Amino acid sequence: MKPYLFLSARPEVEAVGPEYESVRRAMGLDAGRLEHVRLDVDPLARDFRIEAYAGVVVGGSPYNVTTPEDEKSTTQRRVEDDLARLAEAAIERDFPVLYTCYGIGVLTRVIGGTLGTRYAEAAAPIEVVLTPAGIDDPLVGVLPDRFEAFAGHKEAADQLPAEAVLLASSAGCPAQVYRVGRRVYATQFHPEVSAEDFVGRAHVYRHHGYFPADELDLFIKRVTAASVTQPQRMLRRFVELADG
């Protein structure tokens, strides 16, 4: 069977391994079937062949697509070029790709949507509600109509083009999940993390502005008290559909 590919873009080394492990665990794959490329270190090969994989998952990052181009590092610009190239290939071939959090911004720009900071959400558990299209969707439809998820982002889609099918929303962010074609997906929340994962990530990003740095203990209590059990099913279902 073909391997899967996980693309990460986190410069913070201490967050890289745990993110890969949370994605691998949620997908139900062993390490031998989930390859990992750190785009902040290694660029996507120019001769990259998406067909060599069963599917691709893109992780999160403290990067923001809405940062003015002249303020982005050379690395961030290259990462976004690589992720845009991936999106174009996936859309052209209707290939299984799942963009999460930071990645949703890249995909939104590629398809002609607009991004802004209006719908930013502080790091916290949130309630996500499926749209009628989401209820009928082969990937998102495995989830309850309403469920809790972990989110934290400084930008989000302001407007999606007609070709994007909205699958889920939250009170603070209208575009939580959408689909392009049949098999290219994007989620604003983090489908891979458990409460333990999210707390561990909070320690790394405590001073990045996702929540008040002096409220870490309160943040941990709020996260550990939440009932976030459903989103990881998306990643297991992603594998089931891609292996199909």
Q: What is the pLDDT of residue 188?
A: 98
pLDDT in tens, 126-166: 999 999 999 999 999 999 999 999 999 999 999 999 999 99
Could you tell me which residues come within 8 angstroms of residue 227 by beta carbon, excluding any fewer than 6 positions away? Answer: 148
Domains and CATH numbers, the chain: 4-243 (3.40.50.880)
Q: What is the pLDDT of residue 59?
A: 97
pTM of the predicted structure, to 2 decimals: 0.96
Q: What is the pLDDT of residue 236?
A: 98
Listed residue (78, 101, 81, 79) closest to 89, CA to CA: 81
Neighbours of 13 (CB within 10 A): 11
* Phi, psi torsion values for 214, nearest 5 degrees: -85, 5
Q: pLDDT tens track of the chain, all 244 residues?
A: 999 999 999 999 999 999 999 999 999 999 999 999 999 999 999 899 999 999 999 999 999 999 999 999 999 999 999 999 999 999 999 999 999 999 999 999 999 999 999 999 999 999 999 999 999 999 999 999 999 999 999 999 999 999 999 999 999 999 999 999 999 999 999 999 999 999 999 999 999 999 999 999 999 999 999 989 999 999 999 999 999 8
Q: What is the pLDDT of residue 25?
A: 97
Residue 50 near residue 85, CB atoms below 8 Å: no
Element housing 192 (H / E): none
Q: What is the pLDDT of residue 185?
A: 98
